[in-house]
Chains A and B, each alone.
Chain A
Amino acid sequence: MNKKLVEIRNLSTQFKKGANIHKAIEGITFDVYEGESLGIVGESGSGKTTLGRTILRLLTPFHGTIQFDGIDLSSMDAKQLRVWRKDFQMIFQNPYESLSPRLKVGEIIEEPMVIQKMLTPKERTNKVYEMLENVGLPKSAYQKTIHEFSGGQRQRVAIARALVMNPRLVIADEPVSALDVSVQAQILNLLKELQTEFNLTYIFISHDLSVVHHMSDRVGVLNKGHMLEIAAKNEIYQNPIHPYTKSLLASIPKVNPMMRGLEAEPVEVPPQPPYPPHLIDIGNDHYVAADVIEIQNYRMNKQVHKSES
């Protein structure tokens, strides 16, 4: 396996809601390997965006550490972080909100280089044209503003902006959820091509399990702020252990009207304990939140399956 690029330990982020404290994510631990694409799935409100924003230190964690290439980001202040910002970038769900409507597209893409005081103006302009080409936009896009583009084109601009600094880690938060299927296919293809070309590491956040399956090498399952299971893609999709993971998989649309009413039996999901779970390695780098008895049962089932086949 490749070397670890990100190591997340016991990460928690909280929001104040009036007098209450809301634990948006709690006790999250996992690694991201260089060059891989790690998918994060979970329901609305499970904490996916909060997790992404905390890793990139757009939010300050309440507890825990984030090591990026051996450096601890969790306790850095804004000034210290600035040096590292270029190495990690985020692509947001809503390209309408995240890109400035007043700037030209060329300026939007150039901006991170200006902030980092990189290259000469001439070199920066060339770099912008190079990025436009990489994401499949025409040269003429440089002079336009973001209103003049469709959702898919705006997402291409967002991708160009995110990649212009040659980041090592890209967190894509629902990058195609707001796009229609035909444009979604183009953007997913583009993200895959660029990953190979620039040797990028992705954290790919989505509630769409088919999209995550298509894009990821490993997948982590988030529910109510806790990570419940994390493993290689095929382990998660073909050999899910946690009942919550099973229930998510059972709800994937079949895209076939003949299968109506033939849905998988709904899976009973036990209530989530109030404290973050400890993940147990059941082999094959497959980690799952489970107690000792559940693990024993699982191992026994696996033995039975083996002896049957």
Chain B
Amino acid sequence: MVTMLDVKNLKVMFHSKQAEMVAVDEVSFSVRAGETVALIGESGSGKSVTSQAIMGLLPDNGRIAGGEVSFLNQNLVKLSEKEMRRIRGMKISMIFQDATVSLNPTMKIGKQIVEGLHYHQLFPKKESKGEALRLLSIVGFENPSDIYHQYPGELSGGMKQRALIAMAISCEPQLVIADEPTTALDVTIQKQILDLMDDYKRRTETSILLITHDFGLVSEYADRVLVMYEGKIVEAADVFTLFRNPVHPYTKGLMNSIPRIEDPRVMLQTVRDMAVQEGTFEGRVFAPEVFSKDGVTYHAPSALIEVEKGHFVRFFTNKMEVSRT
């Protein structure tokens, strides 16, 4: 299968007045044509920054400090802003986390979609209204012509997010980066939208990078999963392997913190509870880079360790085998 996106040793840094901070640290992964790869992790783990780096949309105080981002064998890191703009929207499309900031509050929904269609010149101007209405019904609006004439402020949170998704798929992209696309939506509409994206993906061999903190979505739609924590990938595997045998305490903690109907617990378990229980270093989720064991100093291995075929885990406990340095 064709590799659509190949990210190698991506490192992103932010600078502020006082210091530089690493937000994404040596992240490597690939997405093949027609594949859905989920990037999961808690708030602040670096998911959005990873996607911004891929799209060339890092804020001014951020920069790519190393690594490569290849899209269909072209290194995007080297492209000019003008070349990048052509790729964005035409080949890679992004659905942002917060619909409120992505929609223009002073322009009617229909007009916003039509402007996007004009910009990419995919439809003759005459047909663009019809296409906009079709897109609005695809994302589950029963009355697309009403929505067409409304302003974002008149819609509920979930409705705004659907309008945004309609805009994102309007240019028939090859890679969709969806950053928490349905977090604000209820299960029925969430399912409707993700089924739609999934179906669209199967028909067109589009790839999806699905950024989420929701294991429910991952279990339903992802082919492969990358678990991210503090800017690093801590576990990577295909979805079946990961759910059968999660290894890293952070992954287990995320899985245990979801309430489930069949679960009688009064209190939910948090990631920290899990780290303590799994015997990591003093209850820290991560192993320190340098540590001592039986009076000998060790360096934690920086590469992911393959614990079974195709299942990679970052070193987290001194019970894992390490070589002396």
Contacts and interface: CB of A to CB of B under 8 A. Distances in A.
A188 B266 CA distance: 10
B187 interface: yes
A290 interface: no
Nearest to B44: A150
A297 interface: no
B268 A150 contact: no
Given A179-B43, A210-B260, A214-B268, A256 B187 contact: no
Contact of B158 (A45, A192, A214): A45
A189 B267 contact: yes
A280 interface: no
Contacts of A45: 156, 158-159
B188 A251 contact: yes
A192 B267 contact: yes
B183 A255 contact: no
Interface stretch (B8-16, B166-174, B215-223): B215-223
Contacts of A179: 43
B187 A207 contact: yes
B261 A253 contact: no
Given A256-B243, A257-B243, A181 B42 contact: yes
Given A185-B268, A209-B261, A253-B216, A43 B188 contact: yes
Nearest to A45: B156
Contacts of A181: 42, 213-215, 254, 257-258
Nearest to A211: B259
A47 to B, nearest CB: 9
In which size bucket is the chain B interface? 35 or more
A183 B188 contact: no
B270 interface: yes
A196 B252 CA distance: 29
B185 A44 contact: yes
A178 B214 contact: no
Given A44-B157, A45-B158, A255 B42 contact: no
A192 B266 CA distance: 9
A237 interface: yes
Nearest to B271: A182
B185 A207 contact: yes
B150 to A, nearest CB: 8
A292 interface: no
A180 interface: yes
A256 B258 CA distance: 12
A253 B220 contact: yes
Contacts of B188: 43, 247-248, 251
A134 B142 CA distance: 45
- With a 10 A CB-CB cut-off, give which of A151, A186, A248, A253 has the most chain B CB atoms: A253
B269 interface: yes
- With a 10 A CB-CB cut-off, give which of A152, A207, A247 has the most chain B CB atoms: A207
Nearest to A253: B216
Interface in A27-71: 42-45, 49
Which 8 A-B residue pairings sit nearest by Cβ, starting from the closest?
A44-B158, A207-B186, A253-B216, A180-B213, A185-B257, A214-B259, A185-B268, A182-B271
Given A248-B187, A255-B216, A257-B219, 20 more contacts: A44-B158, A181-B214, A181-B215, A182-B213, A182-B271, A185-B269, A189-B270, A192-B266, A207-B158, A207-B185, A210-B260, A211-B259, A213-B259, A247-B188, A252-B187, A255-B219, A256-B243, A257-B243, A258-B240, A259-B219
